Amino acid sequence: MAKKRTRTKSASSNGDPQTLQRPPAEILFADELRALAKASAKDPKPPGWKLSPRAVLKFVLGDPSEDRPAKFVGRRAFLERCIVSLATNRGLMLIGEPGTAKSYLSELLTAAISGDSTLTIQGSAGTTEDNIRYSWNYALLVSEGPSENALVPAPLYLGMKHGKLVRFEEITRCALEIQDVLLSVLSDRVMAVAELPEAQRSLYASNGFNVIATANTRDRGVNEMSAALKRRFNFETVHPIADIQEELQLVQRETNRNLSRSQVPVTIDPELTELLVTTFRELRQGKTVDGKGIETPSTVLSTAEAVATGYAAGVHAYYYSDGQVQPLHLVRHLVGSVLKDNPDDLKTVRHYFDHVIKKRKTEPWQAFYDARDELI
């Protein structure tokens, strides 16, 4: 019982953070956000923001002087532009290949700026205006008539009302007319609620409201967006991590964090992380570390996929072996990452094993090669 009383308010309404599969960033990093808010209380900040732009940058990029690693690995100039966009009258559109942490970055930014990353619209072919703006509680609508009480707010309504950032994930997967619901909201910062009595018919956005959208360039593509809507966003492209050392550190850290969160007492060896990341990078870039051209599979072998592969290998090693992650475990789970829909991809990877990995005579590469028969 005593433990219960010490929980934070948001955590208690969502259960114990320790038992949540994936707590949102504002819960996971609650202490850090509180400390940053305190330390930067005197910094200038845009109206409606919880943290100053400087503190937001520190939260996302970490602080080497305090031994806090970057949560998102990216260039500072890019991040500054993203944060500035959110303080203007335009939304922020993050575009890029799948698995480049667009969603994660938008979660971190909304958690830092609004203290809430959960006002999220998930774009899909089935997204409706109701999922974006509001819908009605029909029982109340019938008994009381249209009133704010009978209105069931959706993320855009809540963000405007409470002055928070709203996330629109994979916006280009929605039909054009659904995307265009954002047009008037982003330009005039007002939402018409036509059903309500006249005095309540316009919802004006409070300070702090804005939209972060994400779009995968591999999906239907951003050309599927109206020119009018494009004008209301600043576009920023998120690139895969350029520096191999940075990618190694991130994959190592994220893999081990995932394992420990799922109570698997296994860590992956830095040597194996290097093997995993090198393999993913070579196949992604179509080039080996010594500059030889190779064929690339049609699936994207992103950093996020590398983490997922390392994580699965660790879980596998724990439950079915002695808890020591081996190259064999990586090969087994590589298949699930690479082979999504195109059977030719497996051939491409086999070819890579036979022509590139075979020649690497040191361990753990040899053991990796020896496990190639698992590529089925």
Question: Does residue number 310 form part of the binding site for ligand ADP (CB under 6 A)?
Answer: no
CB of residue 277 to ligand ADP, shortest distance in Å: 11
Q: Which stretch binds ligand ADP (CB under 6 A): 194-202, 266-274, 302-310, 319-327?
A: 302-310
Question: Does residue number 255 form part of the binding site for Mg ion (CB under 5 A)?
Answer: no
User: Residue 72 or 368: which CB sits closer to ligand ADP?
Assistant: 72
Please identify which residue in 52, 85, 100, 299 interacts with ligand ADP, judged by CB under 6 A: 100
Q: Hey, which residues does 152 pair with through a beta bridge?
A: 135
Q: Output the DSSP codes for 293-358.
A: B----SS---HHHHHHHHHHHHHHHHHHSSS---HHHHHHHHHHHH-SS-THHHHHHHHHHHHTGG
User: Residue 73 or 331: which CB sits closer to ligand ADP?
Assistant: 73
CB of residue 239 to ligand ADP, shortest distance in Å: 8
Site for ligand ADP in 102-121 (CB under 6 A): 102-104
DSSP structural state of residue 257: H
User: Residue 100 or 279: which CB sits closer to ligand ADP?
Assistant: 100
Check if the beta carbon of residue 191 is closer than 8 Å to that of residue 156: yes
Per-residue CA distances from 8 to 14, 30, 50, 107, 123 (Å): 10, 9, 17, 20, 31
Non-local (6+) Cβ contacts of 6 within 8 A are none
CB of residue 141 to ligand ADP, shortest distance in Å: 36
CB of residue 140 to ligand ADP, shortest distance in Å: 37
User: Residue 303 or 371: which CB sits closer to ligand ADP?
Assistant: 303
CB of residue 77 to ligand ADP, shortest distance in Å: 15
Q: What whole-number distance in Å separates Cα of residue 339 and Cα of residue 246?
A: 26
Structure tokens given for 65: 């002087």
Please identify which residue in 55, 92, 101, 160 interacts with ligand ADP, judged by CB under 6 A: 101
Binding-residue total with Mg ion (CB under 5 A): 1
Please identify which residue in 52, 103, 131, 279 interacts with Mg ion, judged by CB under 5 A: 103
Helix, strand, coil fractions of the chain, as percent rounded to 5:
50, 10, 35
Check if the beta carbon of residue 128 is closer than 8 Å to that of residue 178: yes
Q: What whole-number distance in Å separates Cα of residue 303 and Cα of residue 332?
A: 18
Q: What whole-number distance in Å separates Cα of residue 310 and Cα of residue 334?
A: 9
Q: Which stretch binds Mg ion (CB under 5 A): 83-91, 103-111, 122-130, 178-186?
A: 103-111
User: Residue 161 or 261: which CB sits closer to ligand ADP?
Assistant: 261
**Taking CB positions, which residue lies at the least distance from Mg ion?**
103
Question: Does residue number 73 form part of the binding site for ligand ADP (CB under 6 A)?
Answer: yes
Please identify which residue in 29, 49, 59, 72 interacts with ligand ADP, judged by CB under 6 A: 72
Per-residue CA distances from 359 to 146, 286, 369, 373, 374 (Å): 72, 17, 9, 17, 19
Residue type for position 301 = L
Q: Which stretch binds Mg ion (CB under 5 A): 69-77, 99-107, 289-297, 332-340?
A: 99-107
User: Residue 102 or 333: which CB sits closer to ligand ADP?
Assistant: 102
Check if the beta carbon of residue 163 is closer than 8 Å to that of residue 212: no
Structure tokens given for 194: 């036509």
Site for ligand ADP in 212-241 (CB under 6 A): 214, 241
3-class state of residue 199 by DSSP: helix
Question: Does residue number 317 form part of the binding site for ligand ADP (CB under 6 A)?
Answer: no
Question: Does residue number 150 form part of the binding site for ligand ADP (CB under 6 A)?
Answer: no
CB under 5 to 8 A by kind: which of ligand ADP, Mg ion, none does 250 bind?
Answer: ligand ADP
User: Residue 214 or 279: which CB sits closer to ligand ADP?
Assistant: 214
Please identify which residue in 275, 304, 312, 349 interacts with ligand ADP, judged by CB under 6 A: 304
Q: Output the DSSP codes for 53-120.
A: HHHHHHHHH-BGGGTB--SS---HHHHHHHHHHHTTTSEEEEEESTTSSHHHHHHHHHHHHHS----E
**Residues forming the site for ligand ADP (CB under 6 A):** 72-74, 98-104, 214, 241, 250, 254, 303-304, 307
